[in-house]
Chains A and B, each alone.
Chain A
């Protein structure tokens, strides 16, 4: 009977569970017997803890409990809600005292209905930390998501705040277990479930057909009329026939095809179909993929003979219920001379942004309480980066590009790489699981790092960059090496132009993080710290961390087999290392060239 029930559970499980299992039969998750489960469920409800997974016969009971645990929805009278809670308590076999406690506990929670904007979890987070007069800091998911630069959580038209889940609690499926390894049930209230280890390899799923992809990704519509269709098909070969929107579509399609040639790309696309496709609760939702002109924030760069994007490459924007989801990439990709390079880099960026969307969709389905703290989880970015870098590494055809360069940098020293990522404005508020357990200490450390960085930027603006430019001028005019230092001159001048704005942004972040630290030192701020600490223990975050760790090792193997190509400086163009060596040589041979320079900057 158990085996039959397990087979039924397995058959009904969402696709990711099936996709990740081997062909051989896998033992089902071990769950408590029904009578024991009621006790375990009751304890979890009363303690305000995560509800444990249920055996098949108790699944409906768990679903009722999870729904009621969200609190009284607006529109339902307190009396009606209390009646439902009492009925649940009766089914759980609670005595009158504990029934009373459950009624009081759940009755105190008020949940907003769709269409109304008020106390979402994020607003509660913000409200708990509403600053004293004069301070404007709102620690809502919207602010943090925006600050993170990962995605923007926006209100839908009609006023529903995007960070309010518009559905009830999920049915309570645990995260997919590792191959053959069940997640053990929580035998005692208060014990934390350990996350199952990640599967050893990403699922080697078949490539998706266009029908499946277009069911969840809106790449734009092909023209309908037969004459227009002929023109559309001929456009890649006859430039005169082409239109900008068709060119965009072809680029998007090509990037999707390239993604699918990699196991990580297939995995994220498959998971996107699982979360948004026809068999999902989000049926009908699609990720709109378009190019976008990011203006001055994005431009084509040429470094060491390789085209790249300077600045914004792409962004994902979505509402937490995924009714709106879009990925826009820089329109500069369409202007690359080397379109193979453009689509290859785009495939990596697209996989990265899709990973953000997939993970949030999974959390909203499995554990919506954790979807909001996830916006502050550093593993959110780590996971997305790994996906993008793996796609880029697998598409490596021996030509260097920015993505490969980053993948290589990560592989050289992951700890140092991530530490430096955490210092940048987009991610400075994000925390890894250890930091979530001590957020005040983590943010104090970030604040110190920010102050150090801002001071460095000030010194670069006031002295180091002008000094470098003056040294370039001496080598150029006095030593006749203008051509050799031309690229360095462009780099240094661009940095000097943009650093004041960069400093302004850094100082703003310093102010905000300072305010955040001050808030966390208040009693109300400590409530939020406690919520973060709980999120740090989340099985979902642990699972994503394990996935990241698996992908990190895979990246090391991929790069070992096919190292990222090094960037070669065009002949005659100096690197910074060579430049300063040339300065030293020039000083020794012609100190008179450097007299004015030394007067200005000293002889160091």
Chain B
């Protein structure tokens, strides 16, 4: 087989056994790869009610069919699991070189189950595999874990995905890290830690073979040409997403736990400020965008801090929620989260949640261990992040995620947990962009900004040839469906979001078909059907766990309180109206939000009906 390695490795950590499976033909035909493989494998493997931190949860790593080839921007890897934060389906995505190395090592996916009796790491190399002792690594941060495994195995080119102290302690938004790239969200790190799995290390030299090398080469040449010709390529390449001004000028940069939409003095941390502290560009496997940045702080109390990043979400996470414009703190906090293995978004929102509770006297200085969580005060933040990672003091409560933290604290704190389905809301106020907000409200992961990013509302990309009013509520359901299905299509590649703007379904199909030999992939309609199927199966995974319309909901702050000032002044999120429009567009039951029988039949998902 070409493109694919046609090998999935199953690992049972409890019994320390392995098995290899070829990929089922139907899996390729109906789900293509990447995100398609992830949801189908997870759905088939798991029973409803599985404990996310228990033996029976899966941790599934997937590399796409185009990973390890010369096609640009297909180097991302994805991890699939039942989330300890949301209790539902989760897929988390990371950059770097882990996916290509998995292909070179001989595999398309790793399905890891069980719990090891003591800390281990999985070593997969040149088609072989073993579990190795990780006692000596347990407790180490992510950078050190990488260094020591490479030393132990005497190979600096080994690629690794690991957890830090946060994952080891079951912080519910602990992530999985590979060369400072993060599959951050949803608690994959906690699942991995619960399995006593410190890391997965990979090394391989098997090149990915192609069905039609000539056609593939031509398709890649065309792709590269599009990157080079695009007028915005150079700019995005340079800055990545280090420009928090864009949501500020739209009045939807959430501040003080989603109360206002503009950070006072945001100009001091806009893209020009990041230009000054950027020291080097970084990149993922075979991606000419090299949109990553190494930043370093040279002055002030955070002098000497550096980070790969921070990207937009992280820039927001340590400024907006606490009303700080200290760029040094942002960089230092980004590095600390990378080192300790935490999702920056959920961490930032959790810190912001604590600041609001402190403001309202719901928690006091006694409970914060003397930390003064006052707006504009950056001093407590690094301490608080450490407390979260090590589950100390207030950090132990915040480590549960804001929804559970609020439940445990009580005292009226529940209304201040800004989450959907337990996942903390990221750096976009839904009141400022309705389709964008609708996607985050309905996504199976919870409030995920990438699930169906509304570029039409945020970056003025026309929809069906017409400009889109971000405040309007009409026709946003259909557009949201399109955005979500479209992202699911790219996810089979696995294509980085930032590469999506240079591709279309036709060229994508040619890349897939010439690599794998499956000519069905040439048809854009075929790809769209697969995309819609994936989204619906993710939905059905959650339905099986008890999710329905009641979970497609925002906190009252966003639906009842208008944004007080700025360009989005007066806006609320009209959830009932937008949700109904979305369910209609999706063909889901209006009352329950569950895909109808006829929709499931249409997508070949009848098997989800037997429950």
Q: Do A and B interact?
A: no
